[in-house]
Amino acid sequence: MYECSPRAEELRQSLLRFMNEHVYPNERNFHDHESGADRWRTPPLLEDLKAKAKAAGLWNLFLPDSDLGAGLSNLDYAHLCEIMGRSPAAAEIFNCSAPDTGNMEILARYASEEQKDRWLKPLLAGEIRSCFSMTEPDVASSDATNIECSIRRDGDGYIVNGRKWWSSGAMNPACKLAIVMGKTNPDEKRHRQQSMILVPMDAPGVTVVRPLSVFGYEHAPHGHAEITYENVRVPAASILLGEGRGFEIAQGRLGPGRIHHCMRTIGLAERALEAMVARAGSRVAFGKRLADMGTIRQDIARSRIEIEQARLLTLKAAHMMDTVGNKVARREIAMIKVVAPTMGCNVIDRAIQAHGAAGLSQDSFLAAAYAKVRTLRLADGPDEVHLESIAKLELG
């Protein structure tokens, strides 16, 4: 059920080989770079692997457009995304890293030809990176109508003023573009007040204030930044799709992005379960293997059940997006956004418990994996927002 196409299966096998040959053996190098003095710059090794991935045809697999990407369906790409999710550096190696994927989808769907030439082409080539600047520290941004950042028309341009945070990717010097969401007309109807605009990161008035850590992890060289926009002037042609279209663009972006997040989480949970099984089979306590103890066996069983449930629901959502469209699949998309991160946190937590103190240390990938997955219960909307959407659809 929900198998990938023959072409996607070929890509999946190539991806598995690439991960085994190039990604897993270099994870320690990537980890060491994250704490180095030059941590915000993409390490040369990663650039080398990007070139290898491009040469192998494992590039821009996420875009469902044969001219710009691999031309895969959401269902096909979901199987590949799970593999990339197993290692924190993998997605960028294949130019399939958030938020660039979502930003490229926005530009491919909604940008003018001029905007595509300036921003989409170098993003597709992996020459630059980008950030998505929506969340604000001073308002509850889970309700995006609260956003206070102003995008004010002034002659032949717009002036942007606002304070944003959790603009992921902005710490990297290769980040050249921010897609900023703000209000162009506070007097319009509630969901027509917001717009999205393209802001160069080197525009006067753009200040990257500080990196934000997740449970102490900075996620370098990617990073999450607080940014201020102070009287930032950009040409009128920088607006995306037109004034008041921000929510429309956001909905087009978030559906595929949630599939990607969930499948990457499933890949990480699968790897955590593998680590738990290996630990249980090799570790001896109180005269017997952990694998012979009932509590660990139950943790392994529950983890397998929850991973399979999450994978099937996510693949169903991807299949529905391909066959009936994102709007009809909105319930399933909301459901996976609740299910997958919760499952990931549960499985990784059990794996940490099986590893004891080692699971909390830098000697294991598990602590960083937990921090990463825990953020997804808030990213792209907190659980509570998605639960409310699901309940409304059921009650309706």
Q: Which tens digit of pLDDT belongs to each residue from 14-44?
A: 999 999 999 999 999 998 998 888 999 999 9
Query: Mind listing the pLDDT tens digit for each residue in 161-193?
Result: 999 999 999 999 999 999 999 999 999 999 999
SS3 content of the chain, % helix, strand, coil (to 5): 55, 15, 30
Query: Mind listing the pLDDT tens digit for each residue in 271-308?
Result: 999 999 999 999 999 999 999 988 999 999 999 999 99
Q: Which residue has the tokens 């269902």?
A: 75
Q: Is the pLDDT of residue 327 over 80?
A: yes
Question: What confidence score (pLDDT) does residue 69 get?
Answer: 86
Top CATH class of 129-244 equals mainly beta
Q: Please state the domain extents for the chain.
A: 6-124, 129-244, 247-395
Top CATH class of 6-124 equals mainly alpha
pTM: 0.94
CA 300 to CA 208: how far, in whole Å?
43
Question: What confidence score (pLDDT) does residue 294 get?
Answer: 84
> Is the CATH number of domain 247-395 1.20.140.10?
yes
Question: What confidence score (pLDDT) does residue 192 get?
Answer: 95
Q: Is the pLDDT of residue 245 over 90?
A: yes
